[in-house]
Amino acid sequence: MNYKHLLYFWTVARLGGVVKAGEHLHVTPQTISGQIQLLEEQIGRPLFRKKGRKLEMTETGQLAFSYAQDIFNLGAELEQVVRQPQGALRPVELRVGNADAVPKLVVTRLLEPAMIQAQPFKVISREGKLDSLLAELAVHRLDLVLSDIPLPPALSVTAFNHRLGGSNVGFYASAALAERASGPFPACLDGLPLLAPGADSAMGVRLTQWLGKHKLRPRVVGEFDDGALVTELGKQGHGVFVAPMVLDQEVRTQYGARLLGEATDLIEEFYVITVERRITHPGVAAITQAARAGLFADWNR
């Protein structure tokens, strides 16, 4: 395969057109079109189709583009590495899958240790549903998955749970909303607007059970899979929201929230899931060791 042809194709796909690609590569649009045509003849299938006045990648084009991305990104990485002084440590890739139910502040705290190691890491973070991330883990596209539940037994994935720790859950509200809370916790939640986690999430299920156990009836104004959206809405005073108590200082400082109370019988746990029974990747080891000794140290005593 002629990689010059592939470069021209990749540039057109990235920039969205032959004219822009020509300007970027300092060649004429006719040259670009000719090179792509040669690549299509070599592959035996079209890479683009016309859609109105624009070009759209075919399925073959999308497949070729994904490989081209890897090829040219590796080339750029190689260029950076060879320009480093002799003896400099090459960054090790750490590919992390973040289950969307894990609070962003928790993810931040968990990833921080990998960012400050003497051995440099290039952290590649992906967020998604747990089952999709575990499928990526199974084919070694990820080194670990951060989750708020252990590996579901129903999934046919060979992987191992590494429990980091857990935390009691706190109920928070803006200053104005907190003023409306009357009586001791948790009775003060009755009638207050509540920004609940998604009903299908582990915390959503636990919270519903906890409210039933204590015979509490807050006014659920919404259910959200996006934890960052919940905290932002909570900051604006739209409802009470929950967060693990290990983040108490951050929640108070960043969102100006007040703690209404701590539920000692409502627990949120966190796990690293890997395909290794014994962790060998230095980045994964840094995350797990720091979490157990730092963020969740009090809980793990």
CATH of 3-82, one of 1.10.10.10, 1.10.3720.10, 3.40.50.970, 3.60.70.12: 1.10.10.10
pLDDT digits (tens, 9 = 90+) for 103-161: 889 999 999 888 877 677 888 999 999 999 999 999 888 999 999 999 988 877 889 99
**How far is Cα 24 from Cα 20, in angstroms, rounded to an integer?**
6
**How far is Cα 235 from Cα 219, in angstroms, rounded to an integer?**
17
Query: Strand 193-197 relative to strand 241-244: parallel, antiparallel, unpaired?
Result: unpaired
What is the rounded average pLDDT for all residues in the chain?
Answer: 89
CATH class label, 89-301:
alpha beta
Domain boundaries, the chain: 3-82, 89-301
pTM: 0.68
What is the arithmetic mean of pLDDT over 254-266? 95
Tell me, what amino acid is at 251? V
pLDDT digits (tens, 9 = 90+) for 19-43: 999 999 999 999 999 999 999 999 9
Residue 282, preceding peptide bond in cis (omega within 30° of 0): no
pLDDT above 90 (res 215):
yes
What is the arithmetic mean of pLDDT over 254-280? 93
What is the arithmetic mean of pLDDT over 227-232? 90
Cα separation values, 200 from 156, 169, 206, 223, Å: 20, 18, 10, 10
Produce one character per residue of 214-248: b if its CB has 16 or more CB atoms within 10 Å, e if not: eebebeeeebbeebeebbebbbebbbbbbbbbbbb
* Count of CB atoms situated within 10 Å of the CB of 268: 24
Task: Copy the structure tokens of residue 245.
Answer: 């108590």
